[in-house]
Amino acid sequence: MPNPEAPAAPHIGRTVAESTPHWPAPPRRPSGAPNILLVLFDDVGFSDFGCYGSAIRTPNIDALAARGLRYTGFHTTAMCSTTRAALLTGRNHHAVGVGCLANFDSGFPGYRGKISPAAGTLAEMLRPHGWRNYMVGKWHVTPLTQTGPAGPYDGWPLGRGFDRYYGFMDAETDQYAPELVRDNTHVDAPGTFETGYHLSADLVDESIRMLADHRADAPDAPWLLWLAFGACHAPHQAPQELIRAYDATFAHGWDVERAQRLARQKTLGLVPPDTELPPRNDGVPAWDSLGEAERRVFTRLQSAYAAMLEHADAQIGRLLQFLRDSGQADDTLVLVLSDNGASQEGGPLGYVNAMGPYNLRPEDMAEKLRRIDDIGGPDTHSNFPHGWAMAANTPLKRYKQNTHGGGIRDPLVMAWPRGIAARGELRHPFCHASDLVPTLLDLCGVAPPAQIAGVAQLPITGQSLRATLADPAAPGRSTPQYFEMFGHRGIWSEGWKAVAYHPPGTPFDADRWELYHLERDFAENHDHADAEPERLAAMKALWWREAEANQVLPLDERFGARFAENARRAQGARSRFVFHAGMGHLPTDVAPDVRARSYRIEADVDIPAGGAEGVLIAHGDATSGYSLYLQDGHLVHDLNIGGLHQLVRSDRPVPPGRQRLGFRMDLGPMVQTPPLPGLGRVTVPSSRRGSLWIGDAPAGEIVFKTGFTSLISWSGLDIGRDRASPVSHYAAPFAFSGRLFQVTLTLAPQQELDGTAIGNAEMARQ
């Protein structure tokens, strides 16, 4: 019999009286499905949360762990873009086109730097079932050459299933002067260092605003909030009072710190009681062998890192308090994790401002010591040395970029009052970043779709961890999991792990594979390669099968050359850029590339009778960049290399009226330097001459000591102002007070870029 309560079928007659209307029912939250808050840290090592053994103060993360679970066998992909691709899609990162970084496309299917449309994101999968999806913070899964104001936007958050976005597209950004995007538009930060602004706090302010808006407008609809901090990626920036408070904590050095962390981990049950510390990573000296200046500087660099993490934890506390105050906490599954191990990009000595060394301006220990109190401030790009990254990854070997434990084993905390009964428990099985999407879909009662927007979808290869939420004995992943990054390789299967460190510049066939029984050897200390050659051979063969199935091939270690090729290919033969007044902001990968080439800047302006001042064009920030501006009636150009300001000032004032004001850079032929520490021989211009022009007449000249060798700046380009972090000696934004019609930048053909130098610099920003 027909159901009398069922809505009548829709019917269109000739008139309303003959027609039956129909209103489709909106999607409803599946029974018991949670809201999802995923908090993603950047470059935080396995041991850095307090609840994983650190002395760093993370009370809010620790409280979450006490109300839920900590996983000890959670693995990532060794880099940021790649882990994000796996976390968003539930598939292996090469398989979805993000085999390496979003910073370049190598021309092969597994290395496009952009998530394939055949790999739907969690947001795209949840949206048809009623979830509202909010993304806040670091994205970094869109090619950076596609992050300019003209897109294309299909790889931006709103193009991949998120309804609102506020954050930054690059691998990193200045925490006091970030390059922000709201939805699909570049916007200014709402504050500055001088007003107390910090990006971590801003991201949580926006998170609270989005959830408050959601609560007001659609309280019954479930939501996903993906909060990806810039912390603790370089630059390590945090309030000075927090930084100084950690000096005493870490004065004992990285060797004692590692031992203390391992002891805490054993007490907490995070690692087996017989776990031993591996030897110090290659090139890391004993702390006691360092001089007093080195110990002071290295301690302060670690303090900045720790303070950045504590500061971010405090912001998480504000967000969690909002969930409690708004009555949403019980229905919200919270995950807190890191995208890879602690970073090795600080090198053996760390940096106060990395932009100098990566443009061949040395930063010796005397300069580091002189600037020790600047560390963590607005004119620094600080990163800690290898020894502290090693301690962050305790008790694991190596670092981010590597496929040993230090690069791929990370903290994962889960808490959900109504869905996870465990309180303060541990889960030890092996699991992977790609396992989180199927876990979340399972908990939400959502099946992965066969198609999204008409595109057939790749199978989800991650495995749900739902059973482990309730059962400590439940197994984790049952299928093999491969790893690959910059030629470093690894494979896990049935409790065993084979891993190979790939020395750059050597044949892949020469790599030495190691074999560990991971279930009994947490820190990868006992190599079974010689004792079990048949098992190792089988694991290596399995790696090749998985690599072929997941678009890992061809193996390619030439990331430096790839960065150089990408820079040339992105702008192609374009040699003329015209910027009109009112233009917004160009990210550095979209802005004109003035490395290794002569160029000419020409600004068309109208100077009022009383004079004018301000920026005409600026690319960069206080750590590095160039700026052409008027000040005190004169035309000025500043080439800032790591804080070394090389200024030329016009020899006469700029007269009023319509004027053409310009700067010309003239480079000599490229030559190789003598061998440089850590870099070898680097290709650089034999000379750099700059000249100012007023109309058709020269107005000043300078011979530069150094210039952009590998990276102009992590910050992008502005016209008519210099946003929040000034390139030169003026107070930002120092907007031009005359009338600016346009700025034209004309590039000469580019000379050969040094792939090694560019690769080293680019890796420092990942």
| Residues involved in catalysis | 80, 140
What token pair was written down for 477? 């992943």
Residue in the block written with tokens 């220990």: 365
Is the separation of the CB atoms in 514 and 498 below 8 Å? yes
Q: CA 43, 46, 47, 53: dihedral to nearest 10 degrees? A: 140
Cα distances from 119 to residues 104, 155, 361, 453, in angstroms, run: 19, 12, 43, 11
- Rounded Cα distance, 256 and 248, in Å: 13
DSSP 8-class letter at 392: H
Exposure string (b/e) for 468-492, b if CB count within 10 Å is 16 or more?
A: bbeeeeeebbeeebbbbbbbbbbbb
Count the alpha carbons within 13 Å of 606 in the hemisphere toward its beta carbon.
4
In the chain, the amino acid numbered 592 is P
Burial of 162 (0-12, 13-18, 19+ CB in 10 A): buried
DSSP 8-class letter at 111: B
Q: In angstroms, what is the C-alpha Rg of the chain?
A: 27
Cα distances from 281 to residues 43, 348, 389, 431, 764, in angstroms, run: 18, 11, 10, 25, 19
Is the separation of the CB atoms in 257 and 391 below 8 Å? yes
β-bridge mates for residue 605, sequence order: 659, 740
Is the separation of the CB atoms in 59 and 50 below 8 Å? yes
CA-based max dimension of the chain? 96
DSSP line for 189-205: -S--GGGT--HHHHHHH
Residue in the block written with tokens 């499905």: 33
- Rounded Cα distance, 752 and 279, in Å: 41
